[in-house]
């Protein structure tokens, strides 16, 4: 299948928005994230990355590595608005867009090749349009499939533009570490290294039977295909790629169930409010739980009728929490509630007492306008399998 796929990912997205909006932050190390003692870095500007600061790092470590950095809280509402603007621009460049996260997505350009001077020129125009309209830089990769397009957008970050042609794919892949293949996490990387496979080129030349014996037939076949630059997944323009969620790392581990359930209620309220504000409801509610030991679990519940009211979301989160086998005294470090499998209001039937509740909630929501910091998490994080 010959496709032309473009992957775009904004550079240092949250930090770049802050630098755009505050001239005095430009050219400086900017770190955005949770600023409490147990906060986590969401992202860092490229100036801050030189100090070894990166996403998902404990904020304490970031402060130590970059004491003169500019530390800012996460302003999701603003980043969402910018994201919406970016996706509206993308929509002018392809009718088939698959959003992957707040700042990243695939565009299917298959069949449009004759409308463009060249894929590279098309990518340049896209980057320029985004910069002119939003003041933000993006990195773009264009390739015959999703795997290569995503890889390409990362090769010359920031402000990158890389086109991979089918005939060059294997040559570009060969020297890269196997960890560049999506789905190859630390564990698989270590197993592959133990078998002598460190680069994608080594994997491409692997003996299939040997690899199957170690990793299973399916995984081996997938890895070998990807190592050769083959990937048949289509661009799927679904909103289900996203979910609305909110999580909190507590200043002190929670030790009492009631305390945890109170936290779940306030998280559920924020998720509900955000859902209703976006005109959405959700069929799946996911609870995320990180214990003092750092072990992290997710548990989900799916309902036939979509939910958007706080009490329903809370009831689901509470049930999932109560079903989770916590040993007494086991502290809870983080709780998260997220809603996925989203439906728009238009898709939801308006039976029974919805109308009354809708009136009640619209009154509550109008009072709530100033609260609610809600995270649009990646579906991949929400769907992450429990570690045990
Ligand atoms: P990324 O695209 O992964 O990172 P980035 O845009 O900041 O930097 P770059 O793409 O140039 O490497 O994520 C997009 C945004 O998502 C990021 O700006 C902040 C947020 N985010 C988190 O909140 N936590 C995380 O762990 C990651 C990776 C991202
Ligand atoms: Mg990015």
Q: What is the mean pLDDT of each run of 10 residues along the chain (388 residues)?
A: 93 98 98 92 97 96 98 91 92 91 94 93 98 98 97 97 96 96 88 95 94 90 94 78 85 91 94 85 94 92 90 96 87 95 60 56 58 35 34
Measured from CB, residues less than 6 Å from any atom of ligand 1 are 9-14, 42-43, 55-56, 102-104, 157-158
Helix 76-93 × helix 13-21 angle, to 10°: 100
Cα-Cα-Cα-Cα dihedral sign, residues 209, 213, 217, 223? negative
The pLDDT of residue 277 is: 79
10 Cα–ligand 2 center, Å: 4
153 Cα–ligand 2 center, Å: 10
CATH 3.40.109.10 fits 243-381, yes or no: no
CB of 103 within 8 A of CB of 10? yes
CB of 269 within 8 A of CB of 248? no
Rounded distance, CA 365 to CA 279, Å?
12
13-76 CATH choice from 2.60.40.650, 3.40.640.10, 3.40.1170.60, 3.90.600.10: 3.40.1170.60
Q: Nearest residue CA, atom 22 of ligand 1?
A: 42
Is residue 355 flagged as an active site residue? Answer: no
Tokens representing 58?
């404990």
The pLDDT of residue 388 is: 33
The pLDDT of residue 351 is: 42
The pLDDT of residue 328 is: 78
CB of 85 within 8 A of CB of 134? yes
Where does CATH 1.10.150 sit in the chain? Answer: 178-220
Strand order from edge to edge, sheet including 41-44: 41-44, 30-33, 70-72
Where does CATH 3.30.1490.100 sit in the chain? Answer: 243-381
Tell me the C-alpha to C-alpha distance, in Å, between residue 264 and each of 126, 268, 273, 323, 334.
Answer: 42, 6, 14, 14, 10
Q: Which fold has domain 178-220?
A: DNA polymerase; domain 1 (1.10.150)
Catalytic residue among 104, 248, 269, 270: 104
Instruction: Give, for ligand 1, the residue of 42, 152, 246, 336 to mutate: max count of ligand atoms closer than 8 Å to Cβ.
Output: 42
């Amino acid at each position: 299948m010959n496709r032309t796929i473009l992957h775009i990912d904004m550079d240092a997205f949250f930090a770049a928005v802050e630098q755009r909006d505050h001239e005095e932050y430009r050219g400086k190390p900017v770190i955005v994230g949770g600023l409490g003692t147990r906060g986590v870095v969401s992202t860092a500007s490229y100036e801050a990355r030189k100090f070894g600061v990166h996403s998902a790092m404990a904020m304490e470590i970031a402060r130590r590595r970059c004491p003169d950095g500019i530390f800012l809280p996460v302003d999701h509402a603003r980043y969402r608005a910018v994201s919406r603007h970016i996706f509206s621009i993308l929509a002018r460049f392809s009718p088939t867009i698959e959003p992957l996260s707040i700042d990243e997505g695939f565009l299917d350009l298959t069949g449009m090749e004759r409308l463009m001077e060249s894929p590279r020129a098309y990518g340049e125009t896209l980057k320029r349009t985004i910069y002119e309209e939003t003041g933000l830089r993006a990195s773009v990769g264009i390739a015959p499939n999703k795997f290569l397009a995503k890889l390409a957008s990362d090769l010359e970050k920031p402000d990158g533009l890389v086109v991979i042609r089918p005939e060059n794919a294997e040559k570009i892949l060969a020297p890269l570490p196997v960890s560049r293949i999506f789905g190859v996490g630390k564990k698989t990387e270590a197993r592959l290294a133990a078998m002598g496979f460190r680069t994608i080129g080594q994997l491409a030349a692997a003996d299939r039977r040997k690899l199957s014996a170690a990793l299973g037939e399916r995984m081996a076949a997938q890895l070998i295909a990807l190592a050769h630059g083959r990937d048949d997944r289509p661009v799927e323009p679904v909103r289900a790629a996203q979910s609305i969620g909110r999580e909190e790392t507590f200043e002190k581990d929670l030790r009492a169930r009631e305390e945890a359930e109170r936290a779940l209620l306030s998280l559920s309220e924020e998720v509900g409010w955000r859902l209703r504000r976006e005109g959405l409801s959700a069929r799946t509610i996911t609870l995320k739980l990180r214990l003092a030991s750092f072990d992290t679990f997710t548990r989900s519940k799916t309902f036939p009728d979509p939910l958007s009211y706080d009490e329903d979301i809370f009831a689901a989160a509470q049930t999932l929490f109560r079903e989770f086998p916590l040993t007494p005294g086991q502290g809870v470090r983080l709780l998260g509630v997220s809603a996925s499998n989203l439906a728009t209001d238009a898709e939801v039937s308006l039976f029974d007492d919805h109308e009354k509740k809708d009136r009640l909630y619209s009154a509550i929501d109008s009072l709530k306008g100033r609260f609610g910091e809600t995270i649009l998490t990646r579906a991949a994080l929400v769907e992450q399998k429990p570690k045990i």
